[in-house]
Amino acid sequence: MEISNPPVSHDQKSIKATPDDISSVAKGLEMAFLTEILSFIGLEGKGGGFDGGIGEAQFHSFLRENYAKAIVESGGLSLAEHFAESIEER
């Protein structure tokens, strides 16, 4: 079975992303990556009598996303630059 790319019209080929668009997408990819990494390092509380219960657990994803956003805005892991270079090559 051969898989090929669908035909692209001439209008779609002429669309070019601006450097700001590429940077925004690259930073978004880095934020998504960091959010997933942060979920594996266990930022959640250890439980016990003073934890937030089910409500706290439901909001951990927002906390991880904001941590990831803060990391990217402060310079990140330089992944966004690599992602941007890869996007620009295409």
Q: What is the pLDDT of residues 20-59, one digit of tens each?
A: 899 999 999 999 999 999 988 876 666 666 666 777 778 8
Say how many C-beta atoms besides its own lie within 10 A of residue 9's C-beta.
7
**Confidence at 14, pLDDT banded by 50, 70, 90:** low
Task: Identify the band that residue 60 occupies on the pLDDT scale cut at 50, 70 and 90.
Answer: confident
Residue 9's pLDDT is: 61
In angstroms, the Cα distances linking 33 to 11, 36, 50, 76 are: 32, 5, 30, 11
| Predicted local distance difference test score (pLDDT) of residue 68 | 94
At 19 the pLDDT is: 85
Instruction: Give how far the C-alpha of residue 86 lies from the chain's centroid of Cα atoms, to the nearest Å.
Output: 15
Q: Torsion-angle region of residue 75: left (phi > 0), alpha (psi -120 to 50) or beta?
A: left
- The set of residues, in sequence order, having a beta carbon less than 8 Å from that of 55 and lying 6+ positions away, is none
